[in-house]
A and B are shown apart, each in its own frame.
Chain A
Amino acid sequence: MINKKQKKSLTTLIFIALSLLLVFSIFISLRVGRFGMSGKEILETIKRFSREGLKTGDRQVAVLFSIRLPRIVMSILVGSALAMSGAAYQGLFKNPMVSPDILGVSSGASIGACTAILFDMSGIKVQMLSFTFGLIAVFFVMGISYAVSKDQGGSLLIMVLAGTVVSSLCNGVTSLIKYVADTDTKLPEITYWLMGSFAKTGGWKNVKSMAVCFIIGAVVLFMLRWNINVLSFGEEDAKALGVNTTRTKILVTLSSTLLTASSVAMSGSIGWVGLVIPHICRFLVGPNYMTLLPCSMLAGSSFMLIVDTVARTLSSGEIPIGVITSIIGAPLFIYLLFKGKKGWS
């Protein structure tokens, strides 16, 4: 039995370790790539940049500040957005098996993003379109599961099935968009994007609009994280404890969906992060959202950054990032299932 003080310092240690991991990953990710740079070169480039800004002709500055850094920031934002929204959905539906993918949010948001590609939209418009469709999808899933299993307040089985149905419906619409898309230009773009990738998200403009959505979603979830704890005991308990459950549920759903949808809009559907990262974090720091949410944020960002760095350096071409997260995520999840049911039985 670990006593309280040790446990507290263990949590602190985990946070320090995760922060160091993130800093280390950022450093490695800045260095590697087709245009390799040593640590010293990076420092010098940063100095040059702070002195002269983005000067045309300086290749190192351009690679570092117009290509690598925005991509790094984007993968950090997307990683923590997906992990946080996954964690929040799990508390909201009092179920650790729930994720943005299962709830149909990702496939819904994909419709929006594919439509945006089809019509050459960019920036915040893509995100808003994804958000709208993601929201429609999640409301459909919630609506169906509550209508079918009203007494149990929406059972898990029905919710998973409803999610499957809505996802498949959304995928149908996405296929339709692919069908009408120009086979030479749009179709490859949509297909590649659907597999998930940070390759086409570069540029500070996109990072900025992602950051706006991220901050809105993350701040709301952070402020509500104690109430998410209470909600995970079920709606009746939460009400009896004085929580305005309707308002809290709406706010949590809106901000989680915003986080997922804006991630999908930027980098396609990257599965498993929202499911596996909160799980790992529960093993690390326990289920209390006071620590779980920041932990998911840190772990999610490091995970995504590492995966993206691998994706862009492992082969001469880019490996779609969704492929890697699936290859890592699925076995890891099975391992977690075997290892301990402590977190969720």
Chain B
Amino acid sequence: MQIEIKDVTCGYGNHSVVNSFSTIIDQGEILCFLGPNGVGKTTLFKSIMGLLPLLDGEVLIDSKDSRRISRKKFASLVGYVPQTHSTPFAFKALDVVLMGSTARLNAFSNPSKSDYTKAFEVMGQLGIERFADKIFTELSGGERQMVMIARALMQEPAFIMLDEPTASLDFGNQAKVLKELKTLSNQGIGIAMTTHAPEHAFLCGGRAVLFAPGGHALSGPVKEILTEENLEKAYGLPVAVIEDRWHDRRMIHCTPVI
């Protein structure tokens, strides 16, 4: 199964941000979206999710037009971890994870015992079952992010789209989130995420999409796309991409030259 983004133009109202963009998200791969602020990464994600109307083009999931797929069916195919998540109410983390089971329930029913079991399972998989009874809004940024990923996993989706999953996380938590995402992609889930750190794209491997100001986008294998030349074009300053060796692993660093 794959998500096919075909000549998509998206934006708000008449104002388009991303113009005829195409790419494919495959199951079991990690696709990283990079580019400067305001270039339309979030807008594109919301449009793919059907939260914003497409201005042009189409999104095909398993060769089916996503606009013809019901919200319920869509939620069982694609999970979404938005950039900001807030609720004014003091829900328990377990309740938040359980909300991921909504798509499997009919409109008038409530989560069953097996949904609870599944929620604990998913939280265990991510190593966060100890948060189950804690108040979601009182968790730290990293813990909240894990809960949101657990909520997306509860949907049992084939794909998960994450909007800046590592933003505002500390060094260690960023790595933890990336590691989990890698594990998930190895289990066959297709992952699309936006990030501001080219290094994260290198760590994930897979493919990358790099937006430059003006909506022009490059896509392909990470190493071919995130070159010094392309990064400089996108971010408007020289960037050093350094290949290094640590014990017997090859690492790639990206540093802006200032």
Q: Which residues of B contact A239 (CB under 8 A)?
A: 49-51, 71
Task: Indicate which residue in B72, B88, B110 contacts A290 across the interface (CB closer than 8 Å).
Answer: B110
Is B141 engaged at the interface, CB distance under 8 Å to the other chain? no
CB contacts under 8 Å to B, within A259-306, are: 282, 286-288, 290
Q: Which residues of B contact A22 (CB under 8 A)?
A: none
Is A7 engaged at the interface, CB distance under 8 Å to the other chain? yes
B95 near A288 (CB under 8 angstroms)? Answer: yes
- In the complex, identify which listed stretch (B2-10, B129-137, B174-182, B248-256) lies at the interface while the others stay far away: B129-137
B102 near A230 (CB under 8 angstroms)? Answer: yes
Is B107 engaged at the interface, CB distance under 8 Å to the other chain? yes
A242 near B85 (CB under 8 angstroms)? Answer: no
B82 near A242 (CB under 8 angstroms)? Answer: no
Is B80 engaged at the interface, CB distance under 8 Å to the other chain? yes
B82 near A241 (CB under 8 angstroms)? Answer: no
CB contacts under 8 Å to A, within B125-162, are: 132-133, 135, 137, 151, 155
Q: Which residues of A contact B105 (CB under 8 A)?
A: 226
Once the chains are docked, how many angstroms separate the CA of A243 from the CA of B99? 10
Is B108 engaged at the interface, CB distance under 8 Å to the other chain? yes
Known: A287-B91, A288-B91. A240 touches B107 (CB 8 A): no
Known: A229-B95, A229-B99, A230-B99. A241 touches B87 (CB 8 A): no
B88 near A4 (CB under 8 angstroms)? Answer: no
Once the chains are docked, how many angstroms separate the CA of A3 from the CA of B137? 19
Chain B 42-76, CB within 8 Å of chain A: the 1/0 string? Answer: 00001001110000000000000000001111111
Q: Which residues of B contact A247 (CB under 8 A)?
A: 107
A241 near B88 (CB under 8 angstroms)? Answer: no
Is A33 engaged at the interface, CB distance under 8 Å to the other chain? no
B107 near A248 (CB under 8 angstroms)? Answer: yes
* Closest A residue to B74 using CB positions: A242
Is A19 engaged at the interface, CB distance under 8 Å to the other chain? no
Q: Which residues of A contact B92 (CB under 8 A)?
A: 286, 288
Chain A 226-239, CB within 8 Å of chain B: the 1/0 string? Answer: 11011011101101
CB contacts under 8 Å to B, within A301-332, are: none
B132 near A244 (CB under 8 angstroms)? Answer: no
Once the chains are docked, how many angstroms separate the CA of A290 from the CA of B91? 12
Is A345 engaged at the interface, CB distance under 8 Å to the other chain? yes
Q: Which residues of B contact A345 (CB under 8 A)?
A: 88, 137
Is A192 engaged at the interface, CB distance under 8 Å to the other chain? no
Known: A225-B110, A288-B95. A232 touches B89 (CB 8 A): yes
A94 near B107 (CB under 8 angstroms)? Answer: no
Q: Which residues of B contact A163 (CB under 8 A)?
A: none
Is B258 engaged at the interface, CB distance under 8 Å to the other chain? no
* Closest B residue to A227 using CB positions: B107
Once the chains are docked, how many angstroms separate the CA of A227 from the CA of B107? 7
Q: Which residues of B contact A2 (CB under 8 A)?
A: 133
B90 near A282 (CB under 8 angstroms)? Answer: yes
A242 near B76 (CB under 8 angstroms)? Answer: yes
Q: Which residues of B contact A95 (CB under 8 A)?
A: 88
B88 near A227 (CB under 8 angstroms)? Answer: no
Q: Which residues of B contact A241 (CB under 8 A)?
A: 75, 99-100, 102-103, 151, 155
Known: A226-B109, A226-B110, A242-B102. A4 touches B133 (CB 8 A): yes
Is B111 engaged at the interface, CB distance under 8 Å to the other chain? yes
A233 near B87 (CB under 8 angstroms)? Answer: yes
CB contacts under 8 Å to B, within A86-102, are: 91, 94-96
Once the chains are docked, how many angstroms separate the CA of A344 from the CA of B151? 21
Most buried by A among B50, B110, B133, B155: B110
> Which A residues have a C-beta under 8 Å from some C-beta of B?
1-4, 7, 91, 94-96, 223-227, 229-230, 232-234, 236-237, 239-245, 247-248, 282, 286-288, 290, 342-345
> Which B residues have a C-beta under 8 Å from some C-beta of A?
46, 49-51, 70-76, 79-80, 82, 85-92, 95-96, 99-100, 102-103, 105, 107-111, 132-133, 135, 137, 151, 155
Besides A236-B82, A241-B75, 19 other A-B contacts (C-beta < 8 A): A3-B133, A4-B133, A94-B87, A224-B107, A224-B108, A226-B109, A230-B99, A240-B51, A240-B80, A241-B99, A241-B100, A241-B102, A242-B73, A242-B155, A282-B90, A287-B91, A288-B95, A342-B135, A345-B137
